[in-house]
Chains A and B, each alone.
Chain A
């Protein structure tokens, strides 16, 4: 604590992040924090979704038009990616908490598994959401086609 030591002597500092080569373990660890923070910001959009539905059809339509816009879709795609990454890496952390996967090769293997899971689940989720649900084809595909048409005219 700096308060208890008023005369601060200049001591050498230990090397910090910038002197190390980025590694699988450190990069995934930093990504876990970043995605966690991003998801907590994303809760604002989650809240907007539910609150707009409670307010009524008008407010819900405003939310849906934002969610269907290019910016909205980009954000949702980012949240999906961040969610699956944070979920999988969180489970990796739970393994560590219970004393498993500490061997460096296992930590790496689990790291690659996390990345694979993230990619597959993000792809699968977007495929299912766009094609499989009972309401998927008419409105969402219409929104997408409208967005594409808008992009072509630009």
Chain B
């Protein structure tokens, strides 16, 4: 019987194992989770300031603040970082607690599509307000 590792030719066992995990791509995800975390941590300073500037504002005042390119850019960056972080974090939870392979894949695809759709809606909203 032909095993899957028979086709890897000269690769050492370590080279074959690298980057493989429950989802077959753990290491890049691990790094991305940390990079997005740092991004969110930095942007949270701006976000808290933005909240104090806009809470209680009317629709007109709020959209005017958000239309400022500096705020719009920060908000877009925050959306990208936060939703990526949410996807990666949820993936970690799903991989740790859901052991049924089929349900796990189903959950992962659902999570990804859900957050991708929400992020797209947020990005479009910011562009519509700011442009």
Give the size of the chain A interface in residues (CB under 8 angstroms): 36
Q: Are B118 and A47 in contact (CB under 8 A)?
A: yes
Complex: how many Å from CA A72 to CA B86? Answer: 21
B53 beta carbon closer than 8 Å to chain A: yes
Q: Are A133 and B66 in contact (CB under 8 A)?
A: no
Q: Which residue of B lies closest to A91 (CB)?
A: B41
Complex: how many Å from CA A97 to CA B82? Answer: 20
Q: Are A97 and B34 in contact (CB under 8 A)?
A: yes
- Nearest-neighbour CB distance to chain B for A92, whole angstroms, equals 11
- Nearest-neighbour CB distance to chain A for B86, whole angstroms, equals 4
Contacting residues of chain B (39-71) with chain A, CB-CB under 8 angstroms: 40-41, 44, 48, 51-63, 66
- Nearest-neighbour CB distance to chain B for A145, whole angstroms, equals 13
Q: Are A53 and B129 in contact (CB under 8 A)?
A: yes
B11 beta carbon closer than 8 Å to chain A: no
- Provide the B116-131 mask, 1 if CB < 8 A to any CB of A, else 0: 0010011011101100
Complex: how many Å from CA A56 to CA B62? Answer: 11
Q: Which residue of A lies closest to B66 (CB)?
A: A53
B110 beta carbon closer than 8 Å to chain A: no
Q: Which residue of B lies closest to A59 (CB)?
A: B59
Q: Are A136 and B56 in contact (CB under 8 A)?
A: yes
- Provide the B61-85 mask, 1 if CB < 8 A to any CB of A, else 0: 1110010000000010001001100
Q: Are B128 and A54 in contact (CB under 8 A)?
A: yes
The 7 closest A-B pairs by CB, nearest first: A54-B125, A135-B56, A40-B86, A139-B56, A57-B59, A140-B56, A133-B52
Complex: how many Å from CA A122 to CA B24? Answer: 39
Q: Are B37 and A54 in contact (CB under 8 A)?
A: no
Q: Are A43 and B82 in contact (CB under 8 A)?
A: yes
- Provide the A89-106 mask, 1 if CB < 8 A to any CB of B, else 0: 011001001000000000
Complex: how many Å from CA A53 to CA B55? Answer: 13
Contacting residues of chain B (1-56) with chain A, CB-CB under 8 angstroms: 34, 37-38, 40-41, 44, 48, 51-56
- Nearest-neighbour CB distance to chain A for B118, whole angstroms, equals 5
Chain A residues with Cβ below 8 Å from B124 are 54
Complex: how many Å from CA A77 to CA B34? Answer: 26
Q: Are B122 and A60 in contact (CB under 8 A)?
A: no
Could you pull out 5 A-B pairs where Cβ atoms are within 8 angstroms?
A36-B89, A40-B90, A54-B126, A60-B59, A129-B51
A31 beta carbon closer than 8 Å to chain B: no
Q: Which residue of A lies closest to B75 (CB)?
A: A50
Q: Are A129 and B41 in contact (CB under 8 A)?
A: no
